[in-house]
Structure 1
């Protein structure tokens, strides 16, 4: 510190504060949101802190200052968090006879209320699905109000709730569905979880499609920074995180009772640094970490690559390819497509 200019001393003090906050962030996935709901919201900003630490590495590095080691150590301690945020190299192995593809997509009621100013959104989504032609298709925020037909799927399980506007989830499959069901979430939640046991080739695979508690806030960074809106949004997010904890525990308990290889996909409305992510994922593999590339952005949020939709697979399932189609703008979420194979 003695050899630093007054400006660098101020920068290093900020560096120390950021390092401490980042370390706290590393422990948050292990803390139940019900106990620390406000702190849980902080997990959404952990990727930003990792970026700030990386900036400090460059800042001190180009000056050949020993202070660079603080940011380096912080990043090394959080290497697993970095992999959840950005993948430098993807994976795409050759197709084989036992492969099958799965798409997960929150279609936001097929733009029923014209959030996007276009009348062609439902047809665009249908065209995208037909183009990729997944063997298993999981749609969150599915609406029966659409006239779309998915005739390529002889097997399906659709669950909808609501009065005038029914919304829910749908699992479509080219393979036979031999069992199915729903996990009803407590407190009259509009969200839900459905599952289907699908006979893929000669293996039975249980596929869960999930849509956990929403934040009910606008994905607008300017509104979130507004003082009145930020306080209201913080309260909403804190409550949503507490609800998600209970919901994730119900999902985890249900999954533990299933002996088949499992796939769980859908919209968790939470980051990869959260208690909810850790609880639902358990010992499953994150398909993005296994075979994805880049930021894996799944949600349309200003200025930040938010990843809140996931595909988790059993260790008995190989992830051979994974892609997030963030350029396909026909919902507030983006479709995920993965190619999988059940290990022999």
Structure 2
């Protein structure tokens, strides 16, 4: 430390602060947000922390300083978090007759309130979905505008809330059971459909957890007062998300079928909420995705808050994020799956 210049001493001090914050972020997925709601905000910026630690590591390495060990150790400890943030290579296995595809998409009420200037979104989204032709389609922030848009699906379960919003599950395979999970004090919820494919039954959950209500342009005109409002809003949302995630986890633990869980969690892959909902299931992005898996249109930050989790009995053969299809504040995600011991005699 004595041999460092005054500039490097400042950098090293900031490096230590960054290290402490990163360690806290590593621990937070294992701690309920209601215990430390403000600290839980760090899970949203963990990817940025990992990048900054890497920059610090390179900074000290090029100077051959032993201080590089600090960020090096932090990066080594967090190696399992990197795959949740970025995948260097994807997976695309050959298609098979037993494969089936699932798309999850928060359609933002088909632009009912003209958030986007394009007035044709209510027709563009169904056209895009028809082109991709998923076997199972899960839509969050669904609106009755879509009631006549997906006639090619023989089976469906549409759940509408008291207001304009709701959720929908469409399927080319027979739906033999359905239901919903209500979230207390919230307009959000989760729905599920038991889908018969061949001789097997799969339960598909579609969920929309509490929004943190941060718009994509939040970085503009931000000041101290606005920052406090944002932090308080995020803290309150995280506490609600915890309850909602625990309700979903309890419900899925009582499910007799293999499961697929998809939807908008409104939280990062480094959060308690993600860990609670996922449980021991596979994250389809980690299995077959590539790049950042960005699913929310947040400027300058590759936010992944939409997920597909699959049962261990289901092989993820392909995963795609359609980040160039900008007709909502979310992007559609789609995965090709294969259920083991599948007899596809009913479709």
Same fold (TM over 0.5): yes
- Give the Cα separation in 2 of the matches to 1:333 and 1:212: 14
Deviation at 1:219, TM superposition (A): 2.5
- Give the Cα separation in 2 of the matches to 1:203 and 1:226: 55
Check whether the contact 2:104–2:138 (CA below 8 A) recurs between aligned residues: yes
Instruction: Identify the residue that residue 127 of structure 1 maps to in structure 2.
Output: 127
Instruction: Identify the residue that residue 313 of structure 1 maps to in structure 2.
Output: 310
Instruction: Identify the residue that residue 7 of structure 1 maps to in structure 2.
Output: 7
What SS class does the counterpart of residue 82 from structure 1 fall into?
A: helix
- Give the Cα separation in 2 of the matches to 1:207 and 1:251: 12
- Give the Cα separation in 1 of the matches to 2:338 and 2:158: 25
Check whether the contact 2:122–2:145 (CA below 8 A) recurs between aligned residues: no
The verdict on how the C-alpha distance between 1:244 and 1:224 changes in structure 2, with shifts beyond 3 A counting, is: farther
Q: Which of the numbers 162, 165, 168 marks the counterpart of 1:167?
A: 165
Residues 60-111 of structure 1, C-alpha deviation per residue, up to 9 Å, x if partnerless?
A: 2222222212111101100111110111111000011211000000000000
The within-5 A match list for 1:1-344 is 1-146=1-146, 148-163=148-163, 166-187=164-185, 189-223=186-220, 225-344=222-341
The verdict on how the C-alpha distance between 1:3 and 1:23 changes in structure 2, with shifts beyond 3 A counting, is: same
- Give the Cα separation in 1 of the matches to 2:317 and 2:66: 42
Check whether the contact 1:198–1:207 (CA below 8 A) recurs between aligned residues: yes
What SS class does the counterpart of residue 126 from structure 2 fall into?
A: helix
What SS class does the counterpart of residue 327 from structure 2 fall into?
A: coil
Check whether the contact 1:224–1:233 (CA below 8 A) recurs between aligned residues: no
Give the paired residue count.
341
Check whether the contact 1:210–1:265 (CA below 8 A) recurs between aligned residues: yes
- Give the Cα separation in 1 of the matches to 2:235 and 2:220: 17
Deviation at 1:221, TM superposition (A): 3.5
Instruction: Identify the residue that residue 345 of structure 2 maps to in structure 1.
Output: none
Check whether the contact 2:102–2:336 (CA below 8 A) recurs between aligned residues: yes
- Give the Cα separation in 2 of the matches to 1:224 and 1:242: 27
Check whether the contact 1:265–1:309 (CA below 8 A) recurs between aligned residues: yes
Deviation at 1:147, TM superposition (A): 6.3
Q: CA RMSD in A?
A: 1.2
Deviation at 1:3, TM superposition (A): 2.7
- Give the Cα separation in 1 of the matches to 2:56 and 2:340: 43
Check whether the contact 1:223–1:229 (CA below 8 A) recurs between aligned residues: no
Deviation at 1:271, TM superposition (A): 0.7
Contiguous gaps of at least 5 residues in structure 1: none
TM-score by structure 2 length?
0.96
TM-score by structure 1 length?
0.96
Deviation at 1:224, TM superposition (A): 7.7
- Give the Cα separation in 1 of the matches to 2:43 and 2:187: 24
Check whether the contact 1:57–1:71 (CA below 8 A) recurs between aligned residues: yes
What SS class does the counterpart of residue 244 from structure 2 fall into?
A: helix
Deviation at 1:127, TM superposition (A): 1.6
Moved more, 285-294 or 56-65: 56-65
Deviation at 1:4, TM superposition (A): 2.1
What SS class does the counterpart of residue 37 from structure 1 fall into?
A: coil
Deviation at 1:45, TM superposition (A): 1.1
What SS class does the counterpart of residue 339 from structure 1 fall into?
A: strand
Residues 112-141 of structure 1, C-alpha deviation per residue, up to 9 Å, x if partnerless?
A: 111000111122111210111000000000
- Give the Cα separation in 2 of the matches to 1:146 and 1:177: 19
Check whether the contact 2:25–2:42 (CA below 8 A) recurs between aligned residues: yes
